[in-house]
Amino acid sequence: MTEQTNGPAPGGRDEGERRRAVIEAAVSALQDGRDFEANFKIVFEVFYRPLQRFFTKKGFLAEEAQDLTQETLLGIYRGVRRFRHEARFETWLYRVATTTYLKRLRSGSAAKRSGVETPYDEVAIDTPSVAAPEGQLDGVLDEEKRRAMREAIEELPEKMRKCLTLRVYQDLSYREIAVVMKLKINTVKAHLFQAREKLRGKLEAYSLEASES
């Protein structure tokens, strides 16, 4: 009879465990100040391409994704001693990447986010991004609709409003919002569902008032 073995397949779980062990050893050495450059090179080589893909999937061109990757890794280089092992190192690293991503959005899109140009993706309301010419009734109504949307969003509870902003204007996934807000994914989904219902109710009330005026 041929003896059968139940060991892990090459490149499978065993490979993943070895990779995590290498990363953990490098991070431990970095926090202790041992062979800093050599150990950071390990972290750099493991995460450079995954970070590039992270930023590329966010819509950045290759050159800008490369800049953001380097900026993230510089933040890791400077702040690795503050890593407290409350989560996996990889989770912490992507939290830094998400912060870098949000900072770039804020610096590049401040003017766009000063007004509400895009409605919440699940609220049935037409809110054009470009107003009609002054003096036209449609333009006045569109501006009133945008104002009503802004006011409805501002009236949302703080965490609900932040979840909505991250989802709609910054296009973060549920998981990314959970990392940024330090919430459970189900909590994020609940906040977004409640925000949708509150906005729908506010905007339906506005439409009714407008039709009666």
The CATH number fitting domain 137-212, selected from 3.90.1150.10, 2.102.10.10, 1.20.5.510, 1.10.10.10: 1.10.10.10
Hey, CA dihedral for 58, 61, 63, 64, is it positive or negative?
A: negative
What's the one-letter identity of residue 51?
A: L
- The per-residue pLDDT for 108 is 63
**pLDDT digits over 13-65, tens only?**
677 788 889 999 999 999 898 888 888 989 999 999 999 999 998 888 888 88
Q: Where are the domains of the chain?
A: 15-109, 137-212
The CA distance from 116 to 152, in Å, is: 11
Those residues with Cβ within 8 angstroms of residue 200's Cβ, 6 or more apart along the chain or in another chain = 123, 124
Alpha helices in 119-184 (DSSP H): 137-154, 158-168, 174-181
Instruction: Give CA–CA dist 98/172, Å, rounded.
Output: 9
Topology classification of domain 15-109: Rna Polymerase Sigma Factor; Chain: A (1.10.1740)
Minimum mean pLDDT range among 18-22, 157-161, 173-177: 173-177
Rounded to whole angstroms, the Cα distance separating 141 from 37 reads 61
Question: What CA–CA distance (Å, rounded) separates 181 from 54?
Answer: 19
Single pTM value for the model: 0.48
| DSSP H stretches of helix in 80-157 | 89-113, 137-154
